[in-house]
Structure 1
Amino acid sequence: MRLAFAIPWRDLGSWLFEHLPSEHTGELLFAAPEPNADLTPRTSKLPPYLAEFFCLARRGYKLANYDVVFTWELRCALAVLFLRRLQRIKTPVIVVGPILKGRVLWALPLLRPLLADATKIVCFSSSERDEYASLLRLPSERFVFLPTPWAAPSDVPALTDDGFALALGQSNRDYATLFRAVEGLTIPVTVVAADDTPFGGITPPSNVTVRFNTDHDTTNALIAAARLHLIPLHPTNFSSGQTVLLRAMAAKKACIVSAVPGVTDYVDENQTAVLVAPHDEVALSEALSRLWDDAPERERLGENAARAVAERFGFAGFVKHLLELVP
C-alpha cells in the first residue's frame, strides 16, 4: 500500500517511516528538508493556511498516486482536503491531531464542508472525540481517540536532581494558579514558556525563575535535572499538556498535573502521576510540598510513568493503530 504523510514540520517524519511495516511504502509530502523559505510552511511569509496549500500545490503532488493520505494538524489537513477537491479525486484522507479552539471556532461554517471529506479524524483525547463530533456535525464513528505518541530521544542528558520543580509549556497553561500555589514556599520553581501570556497578569513570586523560548538542548537538560514536574492547566475539552507530560514521564520524573480532560487519558491517578483539581492552588501547593521531600514516592511514580510511556504511548503502537484506520 502506498501511503503519504502530509506534515507541517520536519521532525516527525523519521519515526513514522522507522515503524512502517515492509508491505507499505510511504512518502513525506511537504516537510521540506531543504531550508527554502518559498516552500517551507514554517518559514514562509504567507499566512499559515495558505503556506501549507501553496507548498503542496507548487510541488505538484498528485494525491491520486496514493492509497491513503495522513495529515497532521488542522491547517495541514485543510490544505490537503482542499487540494483533494481541486484534483477531483477520492483518495481517503485521515486527519490526525486537529485542535478546534479559539478563533478557529468562528470559522467552523467554512471548515465543516472540508473536514466532512475526511475518512477518519484522530483526536488526542477522548473528550475531543465527543466534542468535535458535535462541533463539526459529523457522525461520532468518524472520530477515533489515539493517545499522542512519545519515546525518549537519544540525546536526553543523564537524569539528576538539581533541586527545582519545572513547569514547562505555553498552551492552556494556568501559571496564575501555580504562582499562587508556590508563593511563600521555599521550593525553587522554574517556568519555561514562550511568553508571559499564560501568567494571567500575575508577577511570579521570588522563588520562581522564568525562562522564555529555551532551545532543544536546554529544554532537555531542564527536564532531566528537575526534581519533579508541574503541569497546571485550565479545564477545556481540547487536548493540551500531554506532550510535556509524556516527555517528563519518559524521563522517569514524577509529575503533578491538573485533572482536566486533555490529560486524564494519559494518567493512572497516583500510579503514573498525581492529579489535582484545576484552579485549586491549595491542592497544588499541598501536592508539591508532599512530593518534594518524598524521594521514594517520586521514584515510584517516575518508574511507573516511564513504563507506561514505553508500553502504551510508543511510536510503533501508534503507527500500527493508524494503519488499522485505513479503509
Structure 2
Amino acid sequence: MIHVLLSQNDVYRDVVDHLTAGGAKATLIGPTIAPSAFRSKASILKAMLSPALLRTRGLWTKNDRVLIIGWQALPILAMIRCGLLPRPEKVLVMACFIHGARARRIVNWLWRKLYFPGMGFITFSQGEARNLTGTVGIPSESVYFHLWRQALYGAADPASITDDGSVFAGGYSNRDYDLLLRAMQDMPTPLNIVASERNAIDQQLRPATTVYRDLPEAEFELLLARSRVVAMPLRSQGEACGQSVLLRVLRNGKPLVTTRHESIEAYLGTDYPGFVKHDDVDSMRTTLQRALDDAAFRETLAAAIRVAGRKLDQREGPGQEIEHFLLA
C-alpha cells in the first residue's frame, strides 16, 4: 500500500488525488494552514515538532511504500532510523527546497546521517539532484527528477488576458527584486510587484512601483494576465524556484523575461530568447526594454511560451509520474 504524508493541507492536489483514487492513504502530519500561505523557516521548524507526527504510529508496515511531502520528512526519517517507526519497503521524500548555502550544508549532513536503503528523493531541479548524488552521496537510482506542475488556484478569465503596458513580477522564494528595480529605474513603464511580507524590497530604488504583499492567487494572476511583459528576477543560488509563477505565465501565454536558472530551463529549454544573465542589471534592463518596445520580439517570446505550455500539457500527469517513482 502507498501512504502519503503531508506537511500541510491541500497541497500537491494533482499528485495526492491521483494516488488516493488508486487506494493510497493520505495523512496530514503538520499544521492546518491556508494552502497559499507563505511559510517562514520558524514555522517549518515548529511544525517538525508537531504532535500530528504521532499520527504516523502504526500507519504503515515494512511492506508499504511511503511518500513524504515537505520538511516533516526529517523527524519521520529520524524516527525510522531510531526504530520508532517501521522501515517501509520504499520511502521517497519530496518538496524540500533550500536556497541558502549554509542551510544546504546542514541539511546535506542530516540527509547523509538519516539515509538508509530503500530511501530516495524526488527532485524538482537538476541542481537539487546533483547535490544529492554528488555531495550527499545518495545513489543515482534513488533520485528521481520530476518536472513540477499542478493545477493552480486563481486562473484568470480569458477576457482578462490583455496588454495594459505594465511589467509584472511576482513570487516569493529566491527573488532579487532590487535588481529589477535598478534595471527599471529610468523606465516610465508601470511596474507591479507581488511579494511576501518577508521579501526585502528597497522601493526607494524606484518609487514609481506598486508593491503588493501576499495577494490572493486570483488577484495575483489577474495582474499577471493584464501585463505586457512578466519579469522574473531570480538569484543565481537556490534549487527549485520560480515554477509556480512560470506555470501561470504558461497558462496565460505571456512574454517572459527571466534570469537564466536551470529550474526554468527545464520548462523553456536552454535557447529561450528571454533569458538574461544572473546578477546583471544591464542585461535585465536591455532585454526588458526590448520586450516592451519591440512587438515582434514580444511575440517571439510569447510564441516560445505557448510551445512550452503545449509540451507540458502533453506530458504524463504528475500523479502518474510520482506513482511510477514509488512503484519502481
TM-score of the two chains, using structure 1 as the length reference: 0.83
CA distance in 1, matches of 2:198, 2:231: 17
Amino acid at match of 1:71: I
Amino acid at match of 2:266: D
CA distance in 2, matches of 1:143, 1:292: 41
2:94 is aligned with 1:96:
yes
Specify whether residues 34 and 124 from structure 1 end up closer, same or farther in structure 2 by C-alpha distance, changes over 3 A only: closer
Post-superposition CA distance 1:96-141 (Å, at most 9, x none): 1322443353354334222445532111111221122233222233
Question: Of 172, 175, 187, which residue of structure 1 is paired with 2:174?
Answer: 172
* Aligned residue number for residue 194 of structure 1: 196
Specify whether residues 322 and 177 from structure 1 end up closer, same or farther in structure 2 by C-alpha distance, changes over 3 A only: same
Specify whether residues 119 and 217 from structure 1 end up closer, same or farther in structure 2 by C-alpha distance, changes over 3 A only: same
Q: Is the 8 A contact 1:63 1:91 kept in 2?
A: no
Q: Is the 8 A contact 1:194 1:212 kept in 2?
A: yes
2:79 is aligned with 1:80:
no
Amino acid at match of 2:289: S
Specify whether residues 134 and 227 from structure 1 end up closer, same or farther in structure 2 by C-alpha distance, changes over 3 A only: same
Q: Is the 8 A contact 1:173 1:232 kept in 2?
A: yes
* Aligned residue number for residue 293 of structure 1: 293
Is the deviation greater in 76-85 or in 280-289? 76-85
- Unaligned 5+ segments in structure 2 are 34-38
Post-superposition CA distance 1:70-121 (Å, at most 9, x none): 1222x12223323434123333111113224433533543342224455321
Amino acid at match of 1:4: H
* Aligned residue number for residue 38 of structure 1: none
CA distance in 1, matches of 2:314, 2:11: 14
Amino acid at match of 1:27: K
Helix, strand or coil: the match of 1:120?
strand
Q: CA deviation at 1:162?
A: 2.4
Alignment of 1:154-303 (within 5 A): 155-157=155-157, 158-195=160-197, 197-199=199-201, 201=202, 203-269=204-270, 271=272, 274-303=274-303
Q: Is the 8 A contact 1:116 1:138 kept in 2?
A: no
CA distance in 1, matches of 2:45, 2:234: 32
Helix, strand or coil: the match of 1:121?
strand
Q: CA deviation at 1:254?
A: 1.1
CA distance in 1, matches of 2:44, 2:309: 38
Q: CA deviation at 1:143?
A: 1.5
Q: Is the 8 A contact 1:93 1:120 kept in 2?
A: yes
How many residues align? The count is 316
TM-score of the two chains, using structure 2 as the length reference: 0.83
Q: Is the 8 A contact 2:69 2:93 kept in 1?
A: yes
Specify whether residues 251 and 206 from structure 1 end up closer, same or farther in structure 2 by C-alpha distance, changes over 3 A only: same
Q: Root-mean-square deviation (CA), in Å?
A: 3.2
CA distance in 1, matches of 2:56, 2:137: 33
Specify whether residues 118 and 309 from structure 1 end up closer, same or farther in structure 2 by C-alpha distance, changes over 3 A only: farther
Q: CA deviation at 1:276?
A: 0.4
Q: CA deviation at 1:242?
A: 2.0
Q: Which structure carries more relative contact order (alpha carbon 8 Å, separation 6+)?
A: 2
Q: Is the 8 A contact 1:151 1:314 kept in 2?
A: no
CA distance in 1, matches of 2:233, 2:270: 16
CA distance in 1, matches of 2:257, 2:314: 22
CA distance in 1, matches of 2:265, 2:75: 31
Helix, strand or coil: the match of 1:178?
helix
Amino acid at match of 2:136: L
Q: CA deviation at 1:287?
A: 0.9
Is the deviation greater in 156-165 or in 201-210? 201-210
Alignment of 1:6-45 (within 5 A): 6-12=5-11, 14-20=13-19, 24-30=22-28
Identity within the alignment, %: 23
CA distance in 1, matches of 2:190, 2:118: 47
Alignment of 1:137-148 (within 5 A): 137-148=137-148
